[in-house]
Amino acid sequence: MTEPRSTRRRFVRAATAGVAASVFPRPLLAQGSQQRIVVIGGGFAGATAARFLKRADPRFNVTLVEPNPVFAACPFSNEVIAGLREMRAQLFGYDSIAMEGVVVVHQAAAAVDGRARTVTLANGAKLTYERLVLAPGSDLRFDALPGYDESAAERMPHAWKAGEQTLLLRRQLEAMEDGGTVVMTLPALPYRCPPASYERASLIAYYLQTRKPRSKLVVLDAKDTFSMQRLFENAWQEFYPNLEWVPVSSGGNPTAVDATAMTVSSDFDTYKAAVANVIPPQKAGRIAERAGTADRTGWCPVDPITFESRLVPGIHVLGDAAIAGAVPKSAFAANAVAKICAAAVAKLVRGETPAMPKFVNTCYSLAAPAYGLSIAGVYRPVNGQWLEVEGAGGVSPVDAPRAFRNQEAKFANGWFNTITSEIFG
């Protein structure tokens, strides 16, 4: 594939257009600060945490470590893939966070020493901390699906991290001849935002139906059930005869890919793909492993009240990287738990007891343009683990009229605008 380099350049150009350069103040750590708090990862969890830690106590010396000057958000990136939205609507800079007094360092964290309480950056610089917030999101397991490694991802994009991969999948769909088969593979739980994979299937089916009517989508799924299943299946039945969902019990489990031959194998079959969107199994962002906070599952167990790692004291793990009982791997939850963690850290450093937290999560998905679905839950810690409060949440009604779906699509937009302006605005 010849795309990756030029794709990257194009994306970086697009990404940096209109976003002013972020600050890189020196020295990295101000003198005489009360608490040095380093936050690794400027996504939904980390950027929220940095901002709310500074608000919790302006004397905190908060440093946000994030390699990219511009954040590309995953929510609504499925709409970009389906040609319903432009990538620029997904991009956010860090200037407002810096203006609030957070030191923003555009470097990757390369190592964490939990005993010495230091973070080594990719450029060799070292930061010391009293508390570390680790929010690197999730990483793809390139050793889990035979044939699927980083170079295969350049031909068979996962698009499960927004940015170049999102645009690559979009361009492949645009370039595909009418009549080709698009194959999607979905992993077993847990992984980042499972409902988004069914939203993606819906919107790719929508794209094919409107632009490539002789094409079809085959979804090979390592699961038999998923959230909002009835709602999605009803929408597929109503709108998308071109979408075939193959659950694990019908042989849908993806077993291997061949990026050269463009084939995807499942338990029962091998499919020739014109475009393949391979979403592999996942784990916490690599730096979490290096910090010693990930367990054998690949995810990071945490205390439910403070989000402090159960494995390395002084490190709080937030967002997708954490495994915290029923807490969903969503941007909504990442933002909510980051605020809980910021408040808990402020109490801990004053020697006070953090309050018992509780939060709401709502995930919106589009099954078609102006056709929104949602699932909501309320979560609280019980006996050391986050549980969903029974009877407090719910999903969109199955028999809702079209106006209701339209309204939910508007709520989805409103949610995205609100959360991104709270974090980055």
Ligand X SMILES: Cc1cc2nc3c(=O)[nH]c(=O)nc-3n(C[C@H](O)[C@H](O)[C@H](O)COP(=O)(O)OP(=O)(O)OC[C@H]3O[C@@H](n4cnc5c(N)ncnc54)[C@H](O)[C@@H]3O)c2cc1C
**Contact positions vs ligand X (CB under 6 A):** 40-46, 65-68, 71, 74-75, 77-78, 108-109, 135-137, 160, 192-193, 196, 200, 285, 287, 319-321, 329-332, 334, 363-364
Q: What is the DSSP string of 300-365?
A: EEB-TTT-BBSSSTTEEE-GGGEE-TT--SSHHHHHHHHHHHHHHHHHHHTTPPPPPP-EEEEEEE
How far apart, in whole angstroms, are the C-alpha atoms of residue 155 and residue 180?
Answer: 16
Cβ distance to ligand X smaller for residue 107 or 242: 107
Which residue in the block uniquely carries the two structure tokens 């200037």? 95
Cβ distance to ligand X smaller for residue 247 or 319: 319
What one-letter code names the amino acid at 330?
Answer: S
Cβ distance to ligand X smaller for residue 33 or 418: 418
Phi and psi torsions of 170, nearest 5°: -60, -45
Tell me which residue has its CB nearest to ligand X: 43
| H or E element in which residue 403 lies | helix 402-424
Q: Which two tokens stand for residue 252?
A: 């849908």
Q: Which residues contact 294 (CB under 8 A, 6 or more apart)?
A: 283, 284, 288, 300, 311, 321
Smallest separation (angstroms) from ligand X to the CB of 141: 15
Q: Which residues contact 108 (CB under 8 A, 6 or more apart)?
A: 65, 67, 121, 122, 287
Smallest separation (angstroms) from ligand X to the CB of 207: 14
Smallest separation (angstroms) from ligand X to the CB of 33: 21
Smallest separation (angstroms) from ligand X to the CB of 249: 25
Cβ distance to ligand X smaller for residue 258 or 423: 423
Smallest separation (angstroms) from ligand X to the CB of 225: 20
Smallest separation (angstroms) from ligand X to the CB of 239: 20
Cβ distance to ligand X smaller for residue 258 or 320: 320
Smallest separation (angstroms) from ligand X to the CB of 90: 10
Smallest separation (angstroms) from ligand X to the CB of 376: 11
Cβ distance to ligand X smaller for residue 46 or 254: 46
Q: What is the DSSP string of 12-71?
A: HHHHHTT-PPPP--SSSS-TT-S-EEEEE--SHHHHHHHHHHHHH-TTSEEEEE-S-SEE
Cβ distance to ligand X smaller for residue 166 or 253: 166
How far apart, in whole angstroms, are the C-alpha atoms of residue 42 and residue 38?
Answer: 11
Q: DSSP class of residue 251?
A: T
Taking the mean position of all CA atoms in its chain, how far away is CA 143?
Answer: 20
Which residue in the block uniquely carries the two structure tokens 């997708």? 320
Cβ distance to ligand X smaller for residue 71 or 245: 71
